[in-house]
Amino acid sequence: GAGVSQSPRYKVAKRGQDVALRCDPISGHVSLFWYQQALGQGPEFLTYFQNEAQLDKSGLPSDRFFAERPEGSVSTLKIQRTQQEDSAVYLCASSLANRGNSPLHFGNGTRLTVT
Amino acid sequence: DAKTTQPPSMDCAEGRAANLPCNHSTISGNEYVYWYRQIHSQGPQYIIHGLKNNETNEMASLIITEDRKSSTLILPHATLRDTAVYYCIVRVAGYSGGGADGLTFGKGTHLIIQP
């Protein structure tokens, strides 16, 4: 079946622009996670949804970052007034349920470059 | 902070078994051991997970010591396509509704398969 799909694959933004990154999770997956991965580092947690509810946004680095999942399926990560330090790969993952026996499945990410 | 320790890099000859170690001496009784790998420019790929018993699937085998303080991921016949960063992660088995129940990545082991 189809895996997690993210778009766009690459995004170049000028500093100060707003960007929106899309994630299509695996159909039927209740849990959705966003991660940020800087060059040479492991992914770092940003935020988590269970269906349409955003239950944890403790990893969002600033109030310029906003995520939503209004119908409990597709999710969008929005970054306002982008800064150079926002340059990274943004990964989305989904799982059937948020418990230890339910693996997360990742998309291939969106590589954001802020110039 | 990641709760696991892995060597930063390893080499393995093509066709041989690759054995990747991981220490998780502070693991709790309700935490799973997960393994993911990340090939350049792709998202992390789920490999295998286990709680107490050894596990095997079409990709790999997971050997967990009896005291659960360490584990080994075994790729039985490594190919060049297995060159990747391999992450060993401990994850709580229960459910608290938060994103912290997802995955916390460390730096992983960069496995290089030599022809």
Q: What is the pLDDT of residues A93-105, one digit of tens each?
A: 999 987 778 899 9
Q: What is the pLDDT of residue B29?
A: 86
Cβ–Cβ gap A104/B108 under 8 Å: no
Cβ–Cβ gap A107/B99 under 8 Å: no
Question: What is the mean pLDDT of the segment spanning A4-8?
Answer: 98
- If you measure CA to CA, which chain B residue comes closest to A92? B43
The predicted-structure confidence for B34-78, as pLDDT tens digits, reads as follows 999 999 889 999 999 999 989 999 999 999 999 999 999 999 999
d(CA A84, CA B26): 37
- Residues from chain A that touch B93, judged by Cβ atoms under 8 A, are 99-101
B104 confidence band (pLDDT: 50, 70, 90):
confident
**A65: part of which helix (H) or strand (E)?**
strand A65-68
What DSSP designation does B93 have? S
Is the pLDDT at B5 greater than 70, yes or no? yes
- If you measure CA to CA, which chain A residue comes closest to B34? A103
d(CA A76, CA B36): 24
Which of B31-35, B82-86, B106-110 holds the top average pLDDT?
B82-86
Q: Could you tell me where the DSSP H helices lie in A39-109?
A: none
Look up residue A75 and give its amino acid.
S
Q: What is the pLDDT of residue B1?
A: 52
Q: What is the pLDDT of residue A99?
A: 73
B99 confidence band (pLDDT: 50, 70, 90):
low
DSSP reduced 3-state for B9: strand
Q: What is the pLDDT of residue B63?
A: 98
Q: What is the pLDDT of residue B103?
A: 85
Q: What is the pLDDT of residue A97?
A: 80
Give percent above pLDDT 70 in chain B. Answer: 90
> What is the nearest CA distance from B104 to chain A, expressed in angstroms?
7
Contact B103, A102 (CB under 8 A): no
The residue that leads in pLDDT, A51 or B97, is A51
Q: What is the pLDDT of residue B100?
A: 57
How many cross-chain Cβ pairs, A to B, lie less than 8 Å apart? 83
Substitution target in A57, A69, A108 with the highest count of B β-carbons within 10 Å is A108
Copy the structure tokens of residue B100: 């912290």
The residue that leads in pLDDT, B4 or A98, is B4
The predicted-structure confidence for A59-105, as pLDDT tens digits, reads as follows 999 999 999 999 999 999 999 999 999 999 999 999 998 777 889 99
DSSP reduced 3-state for B99: helix
The residue that leads in pLDDT, B15 or A100, is B15
